[in-house]
Each structure stands twice: as structure tokens, then as C-alpha cells.
Chain A
Amino acid sequence: MKKRTIARLGSLAVAGAVVTAALTACGPSTGGSSENTGGTVTYLGVAGQWEGTDPASVYYGNELASLRRLVYRGLVAFPITDDPNPAPLGDLATDAGTTEDGGLTWTFTIKDGVTWQDGSPVTGDDFIYGLSRSYDETLVNGTGVGTTYLGQYAPSVVEAGYSGPFTSTPEATAVFEEHFFAEGQTVTYKFDVAWPDFPYAAATLFTTDPYQESFDDGSTLWEINSNGPYILEEDEFDPALGGTFVRNPEYDPSTDSTELREALPDEFRFEFVADSDVLFQRLVADNGDDKAAFTDANIPATFYSQITGDVADRTMKSTSPYTRFLQINSLTVTDPKVRRALAVALNQNGVIQAWGGENWGEPSTTIVAKALPGYQPNKGFEGLNPDGDPEAAAALLAEAGQPNPEIVFAFPDTPTNQKLVPVIQQSWEAAGFVVKLNPIAPDATPGYYGQMADKDKNGNKVDVFFAGWASDWPSLFGVVVPIIQSNPAGVQYGVGFNYGFYSNPEVDALIDQAFASTDANEQAALLAQADSVAGADGAYIPIANQKNYFLYGSKIGGFLPDVASSYYPDFGSIYVLED
């Protein structure tokens, strides 16, 4: 997820459920039983959004979630549940992994009897081979998740120049093999830096997924070698048209759990259409095979007028892992009072209205999404008025002795942003700021985030800039650390997503304590505290927590946006209702 997704969010789907919403919605309940087995479920998507089905190249939350349930079992997986705080369970591994040194070393034991779609067993070596592929630039296809996080937790492997199995030198390969190795069915991961929630990341991302070396022939981008309940019927998945998933004859349900996959339909048909208009026309019409169809895209505002009567009975609202905020260049805006004045003045509701209104999102006080286990409002931004408070902001500026500071605001120059930016500009000008706009063209080189990541902002003065985030796995580690932990000394490009170059020893100390803790609740509490300290210091400007608003066909059962699927509908529970 994170920045790339955010950059393209307009066309992507986001999901979520304030869990009560999921429970009280009039949609079908989960818990399909054997009489719901069979039939074909159609998943409707928009053509051209997938970037690959090779596990090394899959990156978007909805793609990870669907493939995890259908074809790519990993070490561990999150269960199908409306519990907002689930723990990962063993999937191909017997349990959720063990560590005896606080997350530096993790070991997993691979189950007996788990196989690839050709019938050969999934081995410990397959896991190490799969991990090694996550280092290869040509396979990750520009997404870079593997190298980003592996570089963070095992920097010595990257520093040794390891670049995957195909092109690495023997010396670099030796460093890799010291860190990650298999002995029979036991797989060991040794990190340089403790990774206390490693199983959470392994459950969500495919970076640690196994790969069968004999399947690897240089043209695997759109191929799928399944170890799950379904196989791809075609030779390749088609990013423009989709693909059909049918039962995998080699799959042994006794090695799996219905907590992870109920696998009720006989077939999942992924059908991509030209645009979301066509997609929602079909779901609203609810004709023929489309009765058993669903999507993970949000209902566009242009369709709200058609969501009435029995169509409204087929909708579900949920929360979402995506948050929107503005980052502040801490190197140019150094006074915390001025930084906080930007947040205090901002009319969050006005911005949300321009984005799509209450179905689109709600005002937020933090970069942490409500969808994340351990979410807390940011105490540092307590009492923030979602309509903006120019007087309070002006008072802060007066205290700072800078009644009219100049602020340069950078944003990607998209049609949506052109609607939002005047709202933001007006809220700040009402407080006394002198606002200058710096729109960045969508086809600029380097791109928008490339320019913002640069300490010197590509040679331009930038004080505040647009941002958004979704944690790559359901944990506060995946959002607090990348955004507000200080960058290492001397870097030119922000590490993680700290492109504001925010730096605060108190925040860093709390993050270090969280890394040292072994209790998930305590970790979350410490990270929330770090977030609050940063809020009081005006580290960023919160705007919104996004929401989901889904529509599905009249014969869809088991529709559940949950943590396991990043609040997209869970493919593990969905089924076709009997006539």
C-alpha cells in the first residue's frame, strides 16, 4: 500500500468497517456452510490496475488479500473475523512462528503434506528461494516492498550487494544465507534489527512467501503457481481482462483451516471492465451472473442517487486503512507553534467534502488508521476543530511572533487536488499565513514523491506537502515508524516515508521502547504515545480517515471486510447464496 497506492488511490478501492457497521449492516452474514458450497463468484475490477501476479511483484492490498485466500498460502495468515484485533495463525507453517530473542530471530516449521499445484511438496528451501527473489529488481517490477523492509531489518544483506538469486556474487549470497536459511522443514530468519511483529508482515505481504524454483523461467510476471485451494485455469492472468480460478485437485483441506479459507465457491471469475462506471452499472442492474458478483472498489459519488431500495440492501460500509494528511518540511518550518497553527487552522470537513463527503471519509487526528489494531486518537491533537479554527491558529502564530509566515504548499496537480487545495489555502489564509502553491505535474521527473523524498525537495522551496498512507501490514509499526521516526544522519532521501525530515529524540526513544517490547498491546500503546508526542510538536497535519462503501450482487453471501483483507471484502468467506 503506502505511497504508491495513495498516488493512485482515486481509481483504487479501499475498504473498512467500523466493525459495528459490518455487524449491523443488513448484508448477509458470514459463516457459510456446506449447502453454500459451489457456484461461481464473479469479482469485478477495473482493467489495468494489477502490476503482476508473481508473488514478488504483488503489492496492492486488495490483490494481496485475494491471492492469499485463493492461491498463495504463506507462512502465516490472518483469520476471517470481524474482530478488530486478530493475531496471525500458522498457514503453511504449523504455528505463527517463535522467537526467543525479542524478534531478532524467527523460526517456523513447515507443515507436512502441503503441496504445489503439480503435487510436489512445499519445502523449507522454497521459502528461502521465494525470499531471495524479493531482492531482485526485475521481479519486484518497481514496487520494492521486499527490499524496503528487508533493507530496514536486515541492512547487512543489502549492504553486501545482495540482489536476488540470479545475479548476486557468491560473497553476497553467503551473507544472505547467514541470515535466512532452511534446515529440512524448519525455516529461520535472522534480522540485524528486532522485528517484533514480523508474523504480521509475513501474513499480509508476499515477501516471505515460498516459490518453486523449477517454476521460475524468466516470464513469471503473470503466472500463478498455486499452493492453495484454487488454480488459475488459464496459463496466465490477464491484467486487462482477469482470469478464472477453479478447484486445485492437489489441495488437501486437512492441511488448512476454515478459519483462514472456507473456499466455498467452485469457481472465482475475475472480470475486469473498462471503468468503474461500467462496473457499478452492472452491479446496480444485478442481472444474470452478475447477481453473484462483487467488487472491492468504492461506490463512486455519481452513483449515490441509484443506491435506493433493494440496491441499498446490497451495500456495506466499513472503515479503511487509508489516512490522508499533510507532511510538514521540518527543516524549513522549525517552530512547533507555526506547525501546529497549520493543523489548527485546517478545515478538515471542507477538504473531505471536496473529496467525496461523508461516505468518502471522516476527520481524523492522526496518521494511524482506525482499521489498525491498537488505534488511538492522537492526544497531541486533542480538541482539534474539524471545521478549522483560524482564531486559535492566529493566536498560536502571535505567540510564535510570526503573524504572517509564508508557506509553500506542494501537491500533485490532479483534478481532485485542484478542488481541495483552495479549501486548504483559504483555511490557512484566514489564520494569517501567506500561502504559495507549488503544483507538481503528474508526469514530472522525478515524480511527486521522488521530489518530496529529497532533503532539498529537488531544489524547490517546499514547506508543506500532500501525503497519504496505509500501513503495509496491520500494525502501528507499519505507520508510526516510517513516518515520524528520525531519518538516519546524513541521508539525502527520507527513509520510510519521513519525507518531512521530522526529528524528535523523545519520539525515537518511545519507538525504540516499542521495538524492545514483546507484548503486542504494549507495543501499540508505546507507538500511540510516540504519535501523540509528535502531534503535540506539530509533526504533521491530520486530515481524514477514509471509509469504504461497497456494493455487491443479490446472490453474494459471506461479504466481510476485515483486518485480514485490509478491509477489502474477504475472499475466504464469500459464497453464492442458494436460489
Chain B
Amino acid sequence: MIAFIIRRVLVGIVMVVVMIFVVFSLFFASGNPAINQCGKYCSAEKIEELTRLLGYDKPIPAQFGDFVRGLVVGRDYPVNDAYREQLIANGFENRIIHCEAPCLGYSQSDQKTVNQLLGKAAGPTISLAVVSFVIWIFFGVLIGVLAAVFKGKWLDKVVVGSTLVVYALPVFVIGTFFLQYVAIKWELYPYPRFEPLQGPEDILPWITGIFLPALTLALFFMAAYVRYTRAFVLESMSEDYIRTARAKGLPERRVLFKHGLRSALTPLVTLAGLDFASLLAGAIITESVFNYQGMGALAVKANNNHDLPVLIGLVIVGATAVIVMNIIVDILYAYIDPRVRFAK
């Protein structure tokens, strides 16, 4: 088991490094990023000055080297050495911004390090991911199992039909309905605002503020998970060993929970892990509808502003989250299903 974990982690690290290099080269291959920071009164001289100031005048391998050094030991901004020296000469060394390792870069248009921006966006995104995950896993699996147990009965038909409807509705329709009708027009629920969770006394406002967006996101996933669960349970309940269990005279409840569900739900671990990881990169539509300032909203903003360092940072963090979750899922899976561990 230990060897298996070490192997997976090493592969994961290699994947992260390769991914960083690919992302960096992709973004920088598309011309001079300084143009995007030049504003509306841009001139050729201004572009030249900004290019130097932001360090885009160096060759791309050198920029990649600086970026990696920033990740490992941190960096100072502005990156241009002459500019920093001039600041010191004029007595303004307090304007030099040190970005601690692992430094992901500096956003000129926000005058903040990418780490600061990501740190701020992480709260709403993680909250949203966790709460909606809990809702969708709990209700998705529960309803899915019920639908399988009552296969063909009216409950099953209602569930199957309604999941289809929910799944077909775009997230922004559900979100807009919750926000503009449930919260604003009918006043059935307090207007959702993100409240950070910093101590036990914050739990109530936090959960109140996050419930509608989390439910919006959860409904979409839940509809899919009800159908996955139903299908997996039905499939495993028709296996030979279930017939054996029933033949042994086990009560039906025990057959379902002890024998049926265990094998039915293992594939869900993989699915759930990856879905959760992708949410850590931000739920763009849900965040936009509710004006939650998470990773998704940050990505939209950075994209609109052509804020390259932030985009690179977001992609690296998002992809790393997926790779890490993948490793966790693999390990969990190996724990649940020993066959995985021994397969070469």
C-alpha cells in the first residue's frame, strides 16, 4: 500500500511540473502580454516601458526560470531590476512588493500578488464546493437508492422524470430563480451574501449565506448522481453474489446495505472525487449569478482584463487540485477495492 501511494504521488508531482510548463508556454506564446495592461491611452513608448517594467522583455525561458524561482524561493515586484533600483534611489523601497514562495505572480491591474487574490477567492469557492458536495452526495445517493429499490413503482418514475427536468435546466436558470424570485420577490429566504467562516459563531450566517448558491449547484449534480446511483445499484443487485446472499436467507435490508451498496457505490467515489476537484477551480456560473467572489469569478475577471499572471495561477491551482484529488481517489479506491492495489 505504501509503495502504491509513493508511486502515485511521484507521478502526480511530475504531472504538476509538466502542466506548469505547458500552461506557461501556452500563455506566453501568444504575443506580448504588456499590451493588455497598457490601457486606452496606449502608445508605442508606453508599451515598451510596460514591457520592460513587467519583465516581458526577457526571453521566455528566462521568464519561466524566474517564475519557477518565484515558486520555490519567492520574488520581488516590480520585476525590472533597474526600476527597483530607481525606487530605492528615490527613497521608495516600501513600494517593492515581496511575494513569498510559492509565488504565483503579481497582477498589475489589481496591484496584488496572485497568491493574495487566490487566497481571497478560496473561501467562497471551498465553502460552495463543500456545502453543495454534502447536499448532492447525501440526497443524490439516498434518492438514487430509493428509486432503485422501488424500481418501476410511482416513486421511481417521479424521481427519474424530475431528475431529467432538473438536469436539463441550465444552472443559471435555477440560480436566477432562487435569487430573483425566492429571495428578492417573494422574500422566502434571506438575500444570499457570502459570510466568511472564521469561528463557531460564524456558522449560522455562513450556512445561511451559502445555502441558495450551494443548492443551485447541488441540484445539477444531484440529478446526475440520482441516476448514477440508481443504475449502479440495479446493476449490482442483479449480480450472482446477491442471489447467493438472498439464498442464504439474509434479510433484504442486509442484502442491500451489506452486499449491494458496497460494490454499487465504489465507482461513485471516483466520480465524486473528480467532480469535487473540478469545483475547487470555481463554479463560474453559480458564482456569477450570486456575485460570489470565488475562483470562478476571479477567472472571469482575469479573462476580461487579460490578466495573464492571474489566469496562469488559476490554471495551475485548479489543475493541481484535480491531480491531488485524483491521487486521493486512487488511494481511497485501493483501500475499498484491493484489486486495484495489486494490479500493475
Residues in A lying within 8 Å of B, measured CB to CB: 3-4, 7, 47-48, 137-138, 141-144, 147-148, 165-168, 216-222, 238, 240-241, 272-274, 277-278, 281-282, 285, 287, 445-447, 449-450, 493
Chain B residues near A281 (CB-CB < 8 A): 180, 184-185
Chain B residues near A47 (CB-CB < 8 A): 291
What are the 6 closest A-B residue pairs judged by CB atoms, nearest first? A142-B39, A218-B95, A144-B41, A274-B291, A221-B111, A240-B293
A-B contact pairs, 19 of them (CB 8 A): A3-B40, A7-B40, A138-B108, A142-B39, A143-B39, A144-B39, A165-B92, A166-B90, A166-B95, A216-B94, A216-B95, A218-B94, A218-B96, A222-B111, A273-B291, A277-B176, A278-B179, A285-B187, A446-B42
**Among B37, B42, B97, B185: residue with most chain A CB under 10 A:** B42
Chain A residues near B301 (CB-CB < 8 A): 48, 240
Known: A137-B49, A141-B39. A287 touches B289 (CB 8 A): no
With an 8 A cutoff between CB atoms, is B297 at the interface? yes
CB distance from B83 to the nearest CB of A (A): 7
CB distance from B256 to the nearest CB of A (A): 44
Of B95, B291, B297, which is within 8 A of A217 by CB?
B95
Chain A residues near B23 (CB-CB < 8 A): none
Give CA–CA (A298, B42) in the complex, Å: 30
Give CA–CA (A447, B50) in the complex, Å: 17
With an 8 A cutoff between CB atoms, is B63 at the interface? no
Residues in B lying within 8 Å of A, measured CB to CB: 35, 37-43, 46, 49-50, 53, 78, 83, 86-87, 90, 92, 94-97, 108-112, 176, 179-180, 184-185, 187, 191, 288-291, 293, 297, 301, 304
Chain A residues near B191 (CB-CB < 8 A): 282
Chain A residues near B112 (CB-CB < 8 A): 219, 221
Chain B residues near A274 (CB-CB < 8 A): 288-291
Chain B residues near A287 (CB-CB < 8 A): 184, 187
Known: A241-B293, A277-B180, A278-B184. A166 touches B92 (CB 8 A): yes
Give CA–CA (A241, B297) in the complex, Å: 12
Assess whether A240 is in contact with B297, with CB atoms less than 8 Å apart.
yes
The chain B residue with its CB closest to the CB of A52 is B111
Of B86, B95, B109, B184, which is within 8 A of A285 by CB?
B184
CB distance from B101 to the nearest CB of A (A): 19
Assess whether B40 is in contact with A4, with CB atoms less than 8 Å apart.
yes
Assess whether B53 is in contact with A138, with CB atoms less than 8 Å apart.
yes
Known: A4-B40, A240-B293, A274-B290. A166 touches B97 (CB 8 A): no
Of B90, B97, B110, B184, which is within 8 A of A218 by CB?
B97
Chain B residues near A241 (CB-CB < 8 A): 291, 293
Beyond the given pairs A142-B40, A142-B41, 20 more chain A to chain B contacts, judged by CB atoms under 8 angstroms and listed by A's residue number, are A3-B40, A138-B78, A143-B39, A144-B39, A165-B92, A166-B86, A167-B83, A217-B95, A218-B96, A218-B97, A218-B111, A219-B111, A220-B111, A221-B112, A240-B293, A240-B297, A241-B291, A281-B180, A282-B184, A446-B42
Give CA–CA (A48, B96) in the complex, Å: 27
CB distance from A8 to the nearest CB of B (A): 10
Assess whether B46 is in contact with A137, with CB atoms less than 8 Å apart.
yes
Known: A137-B46, A274-B289. A445 touches B35 (CB 8 A): yes
Chain B residues near A143 (CB-CB < 8 A): 39-41
CB distance from B92 to the nearest CB of A (A): 5
Give CA–CA (A410, B112) in the complex, Å: 37
Chain A residues near B187 (CB-CB < 8 A): 285, 287
Give CA–CA (A493, B46) in the complex, Å: 14
Assess whether A168 is in contact with B291, with CB atoms less than 8 Å apart.
no
Known: A144-B41, A166-B86, A449-B40. A272 touches B291 (CB 8 A): yes
Of A48, A148, A219, A445, which is within 8 A of B41 by CB?
A148
The chain B residue with its CB closest to the CB of A271 is B193
Assess whether A144 is in contact with B40, with CB atoms less than 8 Å apart.
yes
Give CA–CA (A69, B288) in the complex, Å: 31
Chain B residues near A450 (CB-CB < 8 A): 40, 42
Chain A residues near B108 (CB-CB < 8 A): 138
Give CA–CA (A446, B108) in the complex, Å: 19
The chain A residue with its CB closest to the CB of B49 is A137
The chain B residue with its CB closest to the CB of A144 is B41
The chain B residue with its CB closest to the CB of A223 is B111
Give CA–CA (A368, B159) in the complex, Å: 63
Assess whether A278 is in contact with B180, with CB atoms less than 8 Å apart.
yes
CB distance from B135 to the nearest CB of A (A): 22
Assess whether B184 is in contact with A141, with CB atoms less than 8 Å apart.
no
Known: A273-B291, A445-B35, A493-B43. A167 touches B97 (CB 8 A): no
Give CA–CA (A278, B177) in the complex, Å: 11
Give CA–CA (A222, B107) in the complex, Å: 13
CB distance from B117 to the nearest CB of A (A): 11
CB distance from A184 to the nearest CB of B (A): 23
Give CA–CA (A147, B45) in the complex, Å: 14
Known: A272-B291, A281-B185, A285-B185. A142 touches B37 (CB 8 A): yes
**Among B37, B41, B179, B184: residue with most chain A CB under 10 A:** B41
The chain B residue with its CB closest to the CB of A139 is B111
Give CA–CA (A450, B288) in the complex, Å: 30
Give CA–CA (A213, B40) in the complex, Å: 28
Give CA–CA (A388, B39) in the complex, Å: 37
Chain B residues near A282 (CB-CB < 8 A): 184, 191
Give CA–CA (A240, B123) in the complex, Å: 15
Known: A47-B291, A450-B40. A217 touches B94 (CB 8 A): yes
**Among A147, A166, A168, A277: residue with most chain B CB under 10 A:** A166
Give CA–CA (A168, B97) in the complex, Å: 19
The chain A residue with its CB closest to the CB of B300 is A48
CB distance from B340 to the nearest CB of A (A): 43
Give CA–CA (A508, B176) in the complex, Å: 55
Chain B residues near A7 (CB-CB < 8 A): 40
Give CA–CA (A3, B41) in the complex, Å: 10
CB distance from A291 to the nearest CB of B (A): 13
CB distance from A520 to the nearest CB of B (A): 29
Give CA–CA (A144, B40) in the complex, Å: 8
Known: A141-B109, A273-B291, A274-B290. A165 touches B90 (CB 8 A): yes
Of B87, B111, B290, which is within 8 A of A167 by CB?
B87
Of B90, B96, B180, B184, which is within 8 A of A168 by CB?
B90
The chain B residue with its CB closest to the CB of A443 is B306
Assess whether B86 is in contact with A240, with CB atoms less than 8 Å apart.
no
Give CA–CA (A142, B305) in the complex, Å: 12
Give CA–CA (A281, B187) in the complex, Å: 12
The chain B residue with its CB closest to the CB of A4 is B40
